[in-house]
Amino acid sequence: MSHSSVITGSFLRRQTRRRTPGCRAQRGVALIEALISILIFAFGVLGLMGLEARAINFSVDAEDRNRAALFASEVASTLWLSGSIAAGASAANITAWNTAINVVNAPQTGLVGGAITVIPVAGTTNAADIKITWTPQAHAADVTETTSQLTTRVILP
């Protein structure tokens, strides 16, 4: 309780102001609630930023797979036009494909660390597996990261 003195006439009279019993215990509660809500909001924003980063990585990976599928389609078209696996997968063609796919400085047109191999299927003369390997762009600086690959089988008529 707080006391104050009031002089009335010749007597000193004390006035008491009454506070509610929990008033002192409630001081600063609103500030603590505001700080906790800001903390929860900050964790939510950090979580959304992490989701956005993962979404970008998945988008880049999908773009790389699409580019690899286009290269595999180009190789399959060349094999179809040549009429045989052996003629289409000549050393000159494989060198040209590997030069076109392995574009280190311009990853939007090729695949970082990309390589194409054409492997004839055993027991057949008209089928081959086209295997394309590359280093994902998100891990291009990390040499210990495993490579991604896409394998397509082409069967000539």
Percent of the chain with pLDDT over 70: 76
Answer whether residue 141 shows pLDDT above 90. no
Predicted confidence at residue 108, as pLDDT, reads 67
Average pLDDT over residues 17-23: 61
In the structure, what pLDDT confidence band is assigned to residue 47 with cuts at 50, 70 and 90?
very high
pLDDT tens digits, 49-103: 999 999 988 888 888 899 899 999 999 999 999 888 888 888 888 888 888 888 7
Predicted confidence at residue 76, as pLDDT, reads 92
Predicted confidence at residue 136, as pLDDT, reads 84
pTM of the model: 0.65
Please report, for residues 21, 22, 49, 50, 56, the alpha-carbon distance to residue 44 in angstroms, rounded to integers and kept in the order given.
38, 34, 9, 10, 19
In the structure, what pLDDT confidence band is assigned to residue 33 with cuts at 50, 70 and 90?
very high
Predicted confidence at residue 157, as pLDDT, reads 85
Are 114 and 72 in contact by the 8 Å Cβ rule? The answer is no
Strand ranges inside the chain, DSSP E: 2-8, 11-17, 115-120, 127-134, 148-155
pLDDT tens digits, 108-133: 678 888 889 999 998 888 899 999 99
Predicted confidence at residue 19, as pLDDT, reads 60
